[in-house]
Amino acid sequence: MYHDATYIVGFLNTLNLPTGMDLLADPPRLAEWLHRGALDCTQSLSIQDVARATEFREALRDLVSGNSGRIPSVASLEIVDRAARAASLSLRFRQGASATLDPLGSGLEGGLASVLAAVHSAMAAGTWSRIKICRNPACLRAFHDRSRNRSGVWCEMAVCGNMMKARRFRRRQRSGDGARSRSLP
């Protein structure tokens, strides 16, 4: 199980808007995702568990969007807070004077607790602010901003960045604000 930014990005990207694929869409897929995170998922999951997991994912996505300048909603903060209050986490000490937060539960509770532990770890390590949400409204994928000045706004420049820049250019051209062609002397 990863307790870092990669784990958070992976959780947020369980929903792929362009393809419509949602790895948390039903109890079997949710169980598979929990199993991938090395969590015991012997308990049966319900549609209500799927709803809680997806509600938490989207609230966390809203919180992460704050790293790109948006203001997260109060409702999103409440959803993540509620999950944090319900999480069973243990502070575990390791060799080398380090400590980690580890989930004590299994199933959905353990899964949400492991994501919360990763959030805490990323905040403590200073990597939280580098987790961002793509500004392409058709994408909204989470990504780790690796730019030197933390100015990344698209998950991939070659795909979403180019698409959004081309869209803005066409909009400017239609409105007459675009670059005027220069006449040659």
Q: Is 82 exposed, middle or buried (0-12, 13-18, 19+ CB in 10 A)?
A: middle
93, β-bridge pairs: 99
Confidence (pLDDT) at 100: 84
* Distances in whole angstroms, Cα of residue 124 to Cα of each of 5, 38, 56, 75, 150: 11, 23, 21, 24, 18
CB 9 within 8 A of CB 123: no
Residue whose token pair is 């575990």: 92
Domains of the chain (ranges, CATH numbers): 5-175 (1.10.3300.10)
**Averaged pLDDT in 10-residue chunks for the chain of 185 residues:** 78 93 94 77 85 97 93 96 92 84 85 92 92 88 86 70 64 65 45
The kind and range of the H/E element at 172 are helix 162-175
21, β-bridge pairs: 16
